[in-house]
Amino acid sequence: METLLRVRLPLLLLLFLFLHLFLANSSSSQDLQIVNAERRIDLTSHIIKVYLTLKVENSGTSPASEVHLAFSPTEVEHLAIVKAAATSGKRKKKTYIPLDVKSAELPDGPNGTKFFSITLLTPLSKGETITLEVLYILTHFLEPFPVEISQSESQLVYFRDSAILLSPYHVKQQTTFIKTPSTRVESFTVVEPTKRAGTELKYGPYDNHPPYSYSPVLVHFENNNPFAVVEELEREIEISHWGSLQVTERYRLVHAGARHKGVFSRVEYQTRPGGTGVSSFKHLLAKLPPRVHSVYYRDEIGNISSSHLRTDFLKSELEIEPRYPLFGGWKATFVIGYGVPLQDFLFESPDGRRYLNFTFGCPLAETVVDKLIVKVVLPEGSKDPKAVIPFQVEQHLEIKHSYLDVVGRTVVVLEKRNVVPEHYTPFQVYYSFNPIFMLAEPLMLASVFFLLFVASVAYLHIDLSIRKW
């Protein structure tokens, strides 16, 4: 009997601890409530930005250190980024304190619902409130309808969402604002009270909705902005300690809007620029580093001269024009290359290591990248590379062999999917380097020239004539 109790007692203690943690998580979720929620959805681009302001109150007895966000299964498939900050003050004196956001799980959530946890700097005590500002971005979320249009037609799209905020908490009051690119709205779902004024739809205010409430809405509106999507972008950043940083970017671009049908008329497109092909685009703007040089822009055929470079001490902008305007479903493949001074981007850390400070993401404005590959080619002889990026990416190492290389160069490869302009932020790659390796290439060249010189002298002193003995 005593042996049986010794075996069961630890099991009972573990079960009690599990139940305690489960009830603690459940109670902490129920103790919080949203006093007021304001959601503003920006549909002016094909990249949907949602600005969410939450006033959260702790109505329970125990402090809360996390606030959870809920996303529907449809949103999860298209979610690109989630950012949060705690705010204080009003208007111009308002301050923002960034907060950590990470994926989380709740036991009582509906099937397919994905949760993110916002970690508060200080736990929220009983009766206290906090105001949070949340930004999340959705890509490939707008549905063209009709799916095919002619050159003379405008592009209409569907937007699906909920008039009521999906949340694991009780929401006392909430309002949703939807901003469209133009005043042309074919139809929209009415969930009283609903109001439309110009380019804005207002849903609410709605009072006292329990957790996980949902009220689907459908908005059918005009959106002729460029649906520029880079299916794959490979950025190669090659470091040379001789004073140069060479960047090569290979793009595979597509217009992801309503597919073009019928015959394309170049004459009509040029004579009626405002009345035909309104959903197409023929210009792209690339944001490059300052002090760029040796800029080129080419495709499979060759160099493209229809580009304009504007540069100053703070930034450089390259306006490019593909060989033909892009309509829905049309693609273009091209390469952009340039060089920048090494001293602007390569530095030395206090521990003696060197590090590259460059920008991640896509330089093209208002563009979604389905797959981004960033390759940082380190000088030969570099060791212990380490990449520091403010968000999660896939990393691995490769070896690249170039001219005059002996063992090859280490390449740090970073991959990320569903990249938006908010990912265009600085990142660092640290590595160790012995300066003696800088002499490898000059010594190799000197050795080659010396051997050629010796071979030439030997050749001149050899008598190859045939003599008769």
Q: How many residues are listed for the chain in this entry?
A: 469
Q: Is 410 exposed, middle or buried (0-12, 13-18, 19+ CB in 10 A)?
A: buried
Q: Find all residues with CB under 8 Å of 436, minimum gap 6, and list them.
A: 381
Q: What does the pLDDT profile of the chain (469 residues) look like in tens digits?
A: 444 334 444 444 444 434 343 334 444 456 899 999 999 999 999 999 999 999 999 988 889 999 999 999 999 999 999 999 999 877 777 889 999 999 998 877 788 899 999 999 999 998 899 999 999 999 999 999 999 999 889 999 999 999 999 999 999 999 999 999 999 999 999 999 999 999 999 999 999 999 999 999 999 999 998 899 999 999 999 998 888 899 999 999 999 999 999 888 887 887 776 667 888 888 899 999 999 999 999 988 888 877 889 988 888 999 998 888 899 999 999 999 999 999 999 999 998 899 999 999 999 999 999 999 999 999 888 889 999 999 999 999 999 887 666 678 899 999 999 999 999 999 999 999 876 555 556 666 677 777 888 888 877 777 666 665 5
HSE, CB side, 13 Å, CA atoms: give it for residue 402: 12
Q: Find all residues with CB under 8 Å of 257, minimum gap 6, and list them.
A: 46, 144, 155, 157, 226, 227, 279, 328
The tokens describing 90, both together, are 């009003």
Beta bridge partners of 176: 39, 203
